[in-house]
A and B are shown apart, each in its own frame.
Chain A
Amino acid sequence: MKQLLILSGKGGTGKTTVASAFIRLSEAQAYADCDVDAPNLHLITKHSKAPSRKDYYGMPKAEIDPDICINCGKCMENCRFDAISANERSHFVDPFGCEGCGVCKFVCPVNAVSLHPSVAGDLMLFKEGSVTFSTARLKMGSGTTGMLVSEVKKQMKESAEDTDFAIVDGSPGIGCPAIASLSGADMVLIVAEPSLSGISDMQRIIETARIFGVIIAVCVNKSDTNPDNTNRIKDFCKLEGIPYTGSIPFDPMAVKAVNKGMSIADIDCPSGRAVKEVFNETMHLIIREGKDVQNDKNLWAATH
């Protein structure tokens, strides 16, 4: 299964808008939403049946039995995550701060601490005919986001074993959820925004993606909101040998489409037409994957 991952670095650049258009245009039989903190893809993709759900267990959480606790304070002293507080009666663990490391249990002289499995999220799998859509939602305040992202992809792969091509709507940022989104991806399309913040964030996500040795391509969304910055991004890509697969203009019709639960590829509008071009360019790259795409300045020229 070849995986195309859509990432952005910065939030709000249009990752999900582009991913949903790609899904429509490629008629992908398998796709996943890895933005488990704020999953949105399901709001555009249409599903008639409810998904199957599964609890996702994160790290176990510590619990202190107030009847056994002697308030010696050793647990609080040793907790590196500030997850333990105390009142006159006993010490207690803040489940949101607890990382399940087990140190408090180890240092407790009276065995008042136990570790319990804890539900950190909700995995969902939509399966209709030959189409598989995997997504999840992290319970707020949870950690181990990266692990849940991995579970979302694993669920997709297991459910769509025979599918050749999958599209993954990735996690924003550059931390563990983005890193987890990257593992297993064959190609990454970065959706950048032509703002100073957008450029800065795009550079950081490219740096992160490079560790994985995946093919990287960039496109710009809302390109006409700042043509100078869009050109800066194009120049950056040229210098770095990163293929630039196109520009999508800001389009008020896009918001209307999305609010109706449709992708921009479903209606005839400027952003819809532009995303089709970006899609074609991006797919060309995947097909030519065997060749040395990165650092191929001729290829960059050819895509323009």
Chain B
Amino acid sequence: MKIAIPADEKRIDSTVCQSFGRTPFFVIYETETDDAEFLDNSAASSQGGAGIKAAQTVADSGVSALLTPRCGQNAAEVLTAAGILIFKTENSSITESIADFKEKRLEQLQEIHAGFHGHGG
């Protein structure tokens, strides 16, 4: 299955970005084959509504799940509408988070924070 993770750099050994909407990149990881590709997040430089735009990018990439430390209301609405499950990462390493997911150690994200009304950070 394909999953997405916000990434600080375009490297698999990088860290999970703490912001979903303004992450510079997303890593799209295929768990069956361990293939990874990186997407630029055009929402990173948006004036507002970054979470919404980032969620659209993730939804368009065809993933079934997103691993992230946090997510805003507006972004969550978009992801849920696309049928994408949102899991909360516990580790700051991308590779560790993928391992956590594969081994079913991750829980679904419960605390969806209030929309930042276009001004999050």
Contacts and interface: CB of A to CB of B under 8 A. Distances in A.
Direct touching of A and B (C-beta under 8 Å): yes
Interface of A: 58-59, 100, 144, 146-147, 149-151, 153-154, 176, 179-180, 183-184, 211-213
A212 B113 CA distance: 7
Interface of B: 22, 47-48, 113-114, 116-121
B87 to A, nearest CB: 21
Contacts of A183: 113, 116, 119-121
Nearest to B19: A154
A219 B120 CA distance: 27
A143 to B, nearest CB: 9
A144 B118 CA distance: 10
Given A153-B121, A184-B121, A147 B114 contact: no
B114 A154 contact: no
Contact of A179 (B22, B47, B113, B116): B116
A146 B114 contact: no
A153 to B, nearest CB: 6
8 smallest CB-CB distances across A and B, nearest first, come from A150-B121, A146-B119, A180-B119, A154-B121, A183-B116, A211-B114, A183-B120, A150-B119
A213 to B, nearest CB: 7
A176 B114 contact: no
A150 B120 contact: yes
Contact of B121 (A58, A176, A180, A211): A180
Given A146-B117, A150-B116, 14 more contacts: A58-B47, A59-B47, A144-B48, A146-B48, A146-B119, A147-B47, A151-B121, A153-B121, A154-B22, A176-B117, A179-B116, A184-B120, A212-B113, A212-B114
B116 A180 contact: yes
Nearest to A144: B47
Given A58-B47, A59-B47, A144-B47, A149 B119 contact: yes
A213 B118 CA distance: 18
20 contacts: A100-B47, A144-B47, A144-B48, A146-B117, A146-B119, A147-B118, A147-B119, A150-B121, A153-B121, A154-B22, A176-B118, A176-B119, A179-B116, A179-B119, A180-B116, A183-B113, A183-B116, A183-B119, A184-B120, A211-B114
A59 B121 CA distance: 17
Contacts of B119: 146-147, 149-150, 176, 179-180, 183
A2 B116 CA distance: 18
A241 B120 CA distance: 28
Nearest to A177: B119
A180 B113 CA distance: 13
B48 A147 contact: yes
A108 B113 CA distance: 40
Contacts of B113: 183, 212-213
B68 to A, nearest CB: 15
B70 to A, nearest CB: 10
Given A58-B47, A147-B48, A213 B121 contact: no
A55 B116 CA distance: 23
Contacts of B22: 154
A147 B119 CA distance: 5
Contacts of A59: 47
